[in-house]
Amino acid sequence: MTADPQVLPATGSADEVTDPPSLPEPAEKRRILNQFLAECKELREMEARLARFSVFRVLGSEDSEIRHSNLLAWLFDPEESHGLGDAFLKSFLVKLKLRSDDREMLPDVIDVETAQFEEATIRREWSDHRTHDRLDLLTVLHLRGGGIWVLAIEVKVNAKQSQGQLARYWDKVEREYGSTTCRRIYLFLTRDGEEPEDDSGFLRTDFACVHAALMDCLAQRSGLIAAGPKQLLDDYCRLLETHFMPDNDIGNMARKILKEHPEALDIIFSYRQDMVRMVSDQLDKDLPAVVDGLGYEKPHVTKGYVTLLPKSWRTEANKLGKGTPFVSLCLDFYGGQAWVRIVLGGGEKDFRDRVIAAATEAAGFRRQSTRTHGVKWTYLHSQKLTVVVPDQESDGSEEVASELLRQLIAALKSPEMQARVTALALVLASSTAVAPAPVAPAPASSELLRSHHAND
């Protein structure tokens, strides 16, 4: 996604941020925690439930979109080893119909219940030769007596949809299956029922619908399911209840604990690991060698923010104060959602106007909006990545950092980004600029990080 250059409002310094309230002294902490452990029976009940064996917990795949998509592909195939036949597929479609306001895309309940599927083709990570986009799950159902139903499903667990992503999937399916005898069903399946883009053609649904369909099947066909698949399906239902459905027994227990023991939980949370910090530390180790080969100087990494400078941008004109650049490229994931941005800092208006003009003319930049530029920071370009860095404690910081690095490198290598870098390098090589006094801090400062995520 390429955004219009975005003018950022000036804000107070990082010193103005209010410190969190102080915690009790060590002896008082011990008393509070002892009381919490002695009196909180809900905690012991929750521990007992969550301590049950789960293959998904063993594999560390509770939040893996790939694992969820694979399991759904297995469930949708009537010939697979789960022992449900087409019962899950039909139950899922019925639940969708009853929960959706759509009256045209989804088949009527009577049509679902009487349908006989002669063949089911399941495709994972489906794409065509025109694009690199990959739809998570495409199910093609051939009905006895003629007719085809196509289920196009995009799954999101932690990541968010990127701009135009669902619309591109819709276009691909329409090109392939857009006949009058083919019913196309477009579903956006997310943890929290995120709304799809208005013009995407997709219907939203959530994992509670998957859970409801699966529970119906287990109740009706438990005697027909072998022990191995039964264990897997039971585990998956518990996973959905604990991780994807807040309105369940465990969710209610958690809310009661939060309400009745706030002091103890404040103490516990104060020792929680910081996922954003762990990912930042991992990038600090991995990035320098990688970006050096792409023509970038050694990156400057702070918590949730990486400043990158193409070597072609290291010019006399592109200096602010002690060598800090006016124009830089950054990776920003301080607020969880990851962005790649080109940032223009404060400087003389003539210099800023020339940089913005170069951005306007370069491939991949949108036309500059009419705004005054006598401000501290302007986003010349913003590209949203699909990675979301959770702020809670997690054992997956290396995996998140690896995926973040992969998507960053792909963005830097793209022809559009290279055109932007080249265009700005030309204007930075031919311009001169004098930094205004006093000099504002570099955009990797806490001021920028704390103040501008609301603009996303």
What pLDDT, in 10s, does the model give residues 342-371?
888 766 777 777 777 777 776 555 544 434
pLDDT of 24 strictly over 70: no
pTM of this structure: 0.48
Do 233 and 91 meet the contact criterion of CB atoms below 8 Å apart? no
The residue among 444 and 67 whose pLDDT is bigger is 67
Among 3-12, 334-343, 424-433, where is mean pLDDT lowest?
Answer: 3-12
- Listing DSSP states for 48-79 in one string gives HHHTS--HHHHHT-TT-HHHHHHHHHHHH-TT
Question: Between 19 and 236, where is the model more confident?
Answer: 236
At 181-197, the pLDDT tens digits run 789 999 998 887 788 87
**Candidate ranges 38-47, 88-97, 419-428; pick with highest mean pLDDT:** 88-97
Rounded mean pLDDT, 408-436: 79
**Lowest pLDDT segment from 23-27, 132-136, 213-217, 333-337:** 23-27
Mean pLDDT rounded to a whole number for the chain? 76
Cβ pair 164, 383 in contact under 8 A: no
Q: Residue 55's pLDDT is what?
A: 53
First to last CA, the chain: 12
Q: What percent of the chain has pLDDT over 70?
A: 73
337 pLDDT higher than 90: no
Give the mean model confidence (pLDDT) for residues 436-446.
40
Which residues have a Cβ under 8 Å from the Cβ of 102 and sit 6 or more positions away? 203
Q: How confident is the model at residue 20 (pLDDT cuts 50, 70, 90)?
A: very low
What's the number of CA atoms in the CB half-sphere (13 Å) around residue 186? 22
